[in-house]
């Protein structure tokens, strides 16, 4: 059983023989952060419970030729009382994954506020940011173009789209909509 990253090593092909990255996974409570983490780690769906603090997981990806990349993921709870701690987890991080619930349109403004707050802190300038539109497999999920607009992603710089569900993840460069949706 491999992990969800081992199947897609092309984005790390220029990495030295051994490299380690620290990645913070953030987002509002119930967005699916832990599900995304375990999908990356185990390449399968794992039942989860709400995170009451954080989960720390290490995922090693073999690139061939004795090259290995290790990702240290910090999956931090998204409850309002935990959000002030996010800054501590993004200090000196190599990347941030911000997960949004594509079905929860009522909380998109709240997600936008938190996303912009963390992305615009001085410590995070230049840190790669991936926004994951999770739960795209569910009925009534918002399309990627609508999520990009509601989160005002263009204000954060150039972006590509990524549609995710518990059982799949597709990188969709320059397209709109999610699985089962027409552009």
Residue positions in the annotated binding site for Mg(2+)? Answer: 34, 51
Annotated binding site: 27-34, 51, 78, 134-137
Radius of gyration of the chain (CA): 16
CB burial of residue 82 (10 Å; 0-12, 13-18, 19+): middle
Phi and psi dihedrals of 100, rounded to 5? -120, 150
Burial 106-134 (b: 16+ CB within 10 A, else e): ebbeebbebbeebbeeeebeebebebbbb
Selection from 113, 123, 59 nearest residue 90 by Cα: 123
């290995």: which residue's tokens? Answer: 68
CB 118, CB 130: distance < 8 Å: no
* Residues carrying an active site annotation: 79
Annotated binding site for GTP: 27-34, 78, 134-137
């Amino acid at each position: 059983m491999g992990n969800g990253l081992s199947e897609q090593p092309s984005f790390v092909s220029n990495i030295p023989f051994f490299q380690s990255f620290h990645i913070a996974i953030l987002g509002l409570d119930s967005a699916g952060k832990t599900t995304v983490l375990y999908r990356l780690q185990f390449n399968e769906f794992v039942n989860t419970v709400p995170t009451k603090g954080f989960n720390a997981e290490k995922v090693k990806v073999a690139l061939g030729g004795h090259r290995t990349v290790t990702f240290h993921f910090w999956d931090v709870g998204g409850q309002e009382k935990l959000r002030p701690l996010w800054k501590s987890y993004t200090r000196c991080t190599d990347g941030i994954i911000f997960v949004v619930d594509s079905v929860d349109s009522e909380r998109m403004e709240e997600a936008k506020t938190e996303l912009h707050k963390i992305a615009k802190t001085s410590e995070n300038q230049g840190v790669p940011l991936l926004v994951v539109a999770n739960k795209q497999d569910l009925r009534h999920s918002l399309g990627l173009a609508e999520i990009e607009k509601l989160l005002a992603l263009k204000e954060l710089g150039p972006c590509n789209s990524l549609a995710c569900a518990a059982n799949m993840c597709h990188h969709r460069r320059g397209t709109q909509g999610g699985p089962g949706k027409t552009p």
